[in-house]
Chain A
């Protein structure tokens, strides 16, 4: 039982990281009906910047928030410079552009920092704490706490601030937003910034658990896709719940289903994706596709 609880909590810790990246995907999907396949690579690039800052002697506790800020600006820049000029084209065209971004970030990271894995220090002490007879890693608990706070802050931003309302309005109906005097382009840019910031945070949190190399986020992106497919591609809450479910299921399957082990773990999200798409294509909390004719 103790092992089970530990595995569940461990799964939740990976799950909230998948959730963060999934949330980043959902943010952009909702506002542009576009799946940003470069989201993971942008996050990886952010994580390298964090590593560079620590290599220059900055403590990770300072480098992490700094990188989140840099990612925010970087994401906005990507939208402004790369996406906006093509965004009136077809969804497929824009998708190809994001594929290009994926390759650019991936090779740029390799060119700048090399392809040998690096170690990013953890934000949290490598210590454990016992709660009710079950031992938890402080890192595990820290990750969950940080991302819960971030999700809460995001929810508050969207619900209670006028800029959040303007972003939701832009998502709901871009032309009407402009007719309301809302600078829709700036809102989309901010959406990309927030998504990149979330991704950067996810990268910084997960890097100490894996190793930092240019392909680090590819797997995480697959998990994030599974989370969004599970929760619904247009539902932020669904993305978070989906992320946690994927994390937990992945972890439990690795431990309890004999033949899966650690090598086949990556199959779990794929099976989840296929399963969900078969049974409930819009995901757990996604809105059904309706069109008024």
Chain B
């Protein structure tokens, strides 16, 4: 059963339409990877889902229509969006970043959020060591870990991850991709992942969709897409 169902989603900025009728589904516990060249509309799609920008068409999460909701409301429904460029609060300490992420959590669920916060610190001990440092002083890799944790603390069921490997050293990227499926399983998450590093992304993906100039041109199992010659030439480079 699908949690996120996009049906003919169109979105853009100002007068310019970037996405033309996107159909996409993310099932419960699934890891779906969105591939595509720069400017294909991957980030726009995530921003439309999290309601940072307007969308036309229909986007339902657990049967709830997202179209008329505010970004704040979408978070409360259980969708966390970790934007490209990390989206942490540079002036706040690591711990304050994570506590700010717990803002929408209802009183009754505060304990669970605090436990998730501690779980994040256990998963990323380097963040725990730096919990009272300003987030802006962290390295790129640490900030990305923090951004992912920030997304996890409110207890989402769907995590939208935009280019988590951008600007990271290859080793750190490897680490991150090793931990993502583990996080998804442990926190009971579905994942919609936008990634340039197709090879790594395919390794953890259940399904893959390919976006080209605002439309989805291919969708399929990670296994079958990964062996497709066209896809390999265009996105994997071998």
Chain A interface (Cβ < 8 Å from any Cβ of B): 162, 165-166, 168-169, 171-173, 175-184
Contacts and interface: CB of A to CB of B under 8 A. Distances in A.
Contacts of A183: 70, 72
Contacts of A181: 72, 75-76, 103-104, 154
A172 B154 CA distance: 19
A254 to B, nearest CB: 38
23 contacts: A162-B99, A162-B103, A165-B92, A165-B99, A165-B103, A168-B91, A168-B92, A169-B89, A171-B91, A173-B88, A176-B83, A177-B100, A178-B72, A179-B80, A179-B82, A180-B101, A180-B104, A180-B150, A181-B72, A181-B76, A181-B104, A182-B103, A183-B70
Contacts of A169: 89, 92, 96-97, 100, 103
A173 B87 contact: yes
A200 B89 CA distance: 31
A176 B72 contact: no
Given A165-B96, A171-B91, A172-B91, A179 B75 contact: yes
A273 B83 CA distance: 40
Given A179-B82, A181-B154, 7 more contacts: A166-B100, A169-B96, A169-B103, A173-B88, A173-B89, A175-B83, A180-B103
A168 B99 CA distance: 12
B50 interface: yes
Interface of B: 50, 52, 70-72, 75-76, 80-83, 87-92, 96-97, 99-101, 103-104, 150, 154
Contacts of B70: 178, 183
Nearest to A290: B136
A163 B54 CA distance: 27
A86 to B, nearest CB: 17
Contact of A175 (B52, B75, B90, B150): B52
A165 to B, nearest CB: 5
Those 8 A-B pairs whose CB atoms lie nearest each other, nearest first: A181-B104, A181-B75, A172-B89, A169-B100, A176-B87, A178-B71, A172-B91, A180-B101
Nearest to B90: A172
Contacts of A184: 72
A256 to B, nearest CB: 40
A166 B97 CA distance: 10
Nearest to A182: B103
Contacts of B103: 162, 165-166, 169, 180-182
